[in-house]
Amino acid sequence: MSDVNHQISKTLVQKYGKDTLFVLGDLAGVSFEESNLSRTAKQNYDLRSWSFYQLEQFLTYKAHENRSEVLKVSAKYTSQRCPKCGIIRKANRDQ
């Protein structure tokens, strides 16, 4: 997974070039409650969490080397928020 994260972060930085703002959703606490997960699911959750964190770290340091930045935003309501006006409506999820 580490190699995949290196490849993804490298590709993103190369594709979008210098002075790019990469925006990532802050996924802390967004996933399922751990108490509701089976033992196997808990192990998988830990692996997924680490992979996303690692990708964020790789992208951040590679972006900084390329005069770019990584910004984390709240993931709350992102699927309902209009990207143009910012209004939050459940109906926006279907678009």
Q: pLDDT digit string (tens) for 1-60? A: 889 999 999 999 999 999 999 999 887 665 545 555 566 665 555 555 678 889 999 999
Per the CB < 8 A criterion, the answer to whether 36 and 85 are in contact is: no
Q: What is the pLDDT of residue 51?
A: 83
Q: What is the pLDDT of residue 32?
A: 47
Q: Which of the four pLDDT bands, split at 50, 70 and 90, describes residue 81? A: confident
The Cα–Cα gap between 75 and 24 comes to 9
- pTM for this entry: 0.68
CA 46 to chain centre: 16
Q: Which of the four pLDDT bands, split at 50, 70 and 90, describes residue 73? A: confident
The Cα–Cα gap between 71 and 89 comes to 24
Within 8 A by CB and 6+ apart from 12, the residues are 22, 59
For the chain, first and last CA: distance in Å? Answer: 32
